[in-house]
Chain A
């Protein structure tokens, strides 16, 4: 069994990238046609992968180096339902990004397309990789392409600075990951996930394995922008070209979390043993911190992309909590949440791009009332805000409901999730009200200004006519929201996700199918998402609307009101002041996070 699909799904976009790189003088319509064809083909391949992995995993041994008597020397890609699902999400969002950039970006040369395909192929390879070092290589490939994409608008300081912070922090993260891989190799002599797991099972769990696990996790959590490794994300997402943002927020960040789940369940599960619950609590703790910090930071932003970026940090926290529950229900919920959130967030970025295309600004105050005529964009934007808040029947609500059901021991969970939903949803709805309905005060306090984002400072990413919005720009947003809806209303989604997650969480079956080619199916108990989650979802969406309405009152709160609020807002001010934009600070926070996370993991395991 040496399925070709995993290799094809990865190397078709990469091949397209190389081909376009050789066609530097080609006409733009030709480049777009090739790009759409290749992106479409990749989507078809990943769909096929998802369909074929229903029954069994698909393993691809590169260079034909299949394992010999249970010893794997070669490099394997292993596709199961979750890996294929991640690859499909990458491919679908890439396709949407290419459709959007068809009329949106008109920057002459085809560098953008070349880098986007490298980015896409890098992410798919990352999702399918079954080998530590190959994971690292694809981690770097998607990184390098993403750094370059972030800095694409070279006419301004912001994108360049954002790209620099992004590149430096992610590089340090990748070296932490590689140090962890080095320690594991030193202990086991293997790089294949299944092989490492087998080698670890033969010897008692030693300290080095725990340390290596902590390092591997931290490297991946940097990519996942979990607090306190998150600083680069808001800088990079705020300035990157919109089609790249679609992929950054929609899936790249979540792939870091997917990586954590992947290596834990295939490699470290057997070593951790009964300490699994405690280790899960560490992940849940990191997730909750991300949820709180991300939600608060999201709400106080007025730069649209930066606002959406912080909301991604909060929602990533929800996904991490689901993974930290260490159950198939939690992981299934996280999976559905990634799909639901990814499509919703991508469509919100697309709509933000429409605003930038039309008005050349991303500042909430500056855009106030200017979107009045754009009823379709406005309606979609508001719908995206409600979907972000978890309004049933969007996929976000289904995923969150499953996580809550799986974590029913934790009574706080609906409240914390609700906090993220309400704050991020309200922030988006507030923007919608201000931009498309002209609600709210004319010009909020200057103190709310975000750094240098003075109104109208954004460089237009396009040279097209601005007086109207081409339909092609809005179509991807509609399709993406429809996708989020489809995930939520598909009756089998919860059950299928749980079956897939249960198989994902079975290290023995994984090792057997990778090393011996034996794949076994077994039954899984599945549960329905908690029935109260529908109520929670509606309540959260309602609360988000209410909160947005309150913040959009025409009158500013009186002086006495402001004075009484000040002590309550002190932590928020302190939190904001930590986001300094200084890369030295970011590196320092990374080391603090590394020490703290490493220490907590060690304590948890012992």
Chain B
């Protein structure tokens, strides 16, 4: 029971620890990397739910083999997910460069668009 559950808890841990970093962060670039940690929870969860103990990767040499393989669909999803993570990071970093130019700060305390 516990052994079957712990791997999923890893995904939860990545999600929460990344969010903790974002909540306490004083630097935008740090936040971007914490966001990458939060996102890694999705990779881990997806790959875990498609995993089959003792099975091999879903890549074949020829059509004849009937061996047990892990789910290829989740892997395809994770591939797309990884690309999305990189693009959002690129955009956020470009925003960070420019906001630093305007405000000379990357601290969320100083980066408040509007209040009230």
Contacts and interface: CB of A to CB of B under 8 A. Distances in A.
Direct contact, A vs B (beta carbon within 8 Å): yes
Given A164-B96, A185-B49, A234 B87 contact: no
Contacts of B116: 300, 450-451, 576-577, 579
A543 B38 CA distance: 47
Task: Choose among A143, A154, A186, A584 the residue with the greatest number of B CB atoms under 10 Å from its CB.
Answer: A584
B114 A158 contact: yes
A579 B115 contact: yes
Contacts of A178: 42, 46, 81
Contacts of B41: 175, 179
B112 A161 contact: yes
Contacts of A151: 95, 98
A179 B113 contact: no
B88 A144 contact: yes
Contact of B99 (A160, A183, A186): A160
A215 B42 CA distance: 12
B102 interface: yes
Contacts of A182: 11, 42, 45-46, 49, 74
Interface residues of B, number: 44
B69 interface: no
Interface in A233-288: 234-235, 238-239
B91 to A, nearest CB: 6
Interface residues of A, number: 54
Contacts, number: 145
Interface string A122-156: 00000000000100010010011001100100111
B113 A235 contact: yes
A144 B111 contact: no
Instruction: Name the prevailing secondary structure of the B interface residues.
Output: helix
B70 interface: no
A154 B99 CA distance: 8
Contacts of A239: 113
Contacts of B87: 144
Contact of B92 (A155, A161, A167, A185): A167
B113 A167 contact: no
B72 to A, nearest CB: 11
B92 A164 contact: yes
B26 to A, nearest CB: 9
Contacts of A143: 88
A306 B99 CA distance: 20
B64 interface: no
Contacts of A544: none
Contacts of A235: 113-114
A189 B111 CA distance: 43
A158 B35 contact: no
A306 B46 CA distance: 38
A144 B42 contact: no
Contacts of A162: 113-114
B17 interface: no
Contacts of B49: 182-183, 185-186
10 contacts: A133-B80, A144-B87, A147-B91, A179-B41, A179-B45, A182-B49, A183-B49, A189-B71, A581-B115, A583-B31
Closest 5 CB pairs of A and B: A581-B112, A186-B49, A451-B114, A160-B99, A161-B113
Given A235-B113, A576-B115, 12 more contacts: A147-B91, A158-B114, A160-B99, A162-B114, A167-B91, A451-B115, A452-B114, A579-B114, A579-B116, A582-B109, A584-B25, A587-B23
Interface of B: 11, 15, 19, 22-25, 28, 31, 35, 38-39, 41-42, 45-46, 48-50, 71, 73-74, 77, 80-81, 84, 87-88, 91-92, 95-96, 98-99, 102-103, 108-109, 111-116
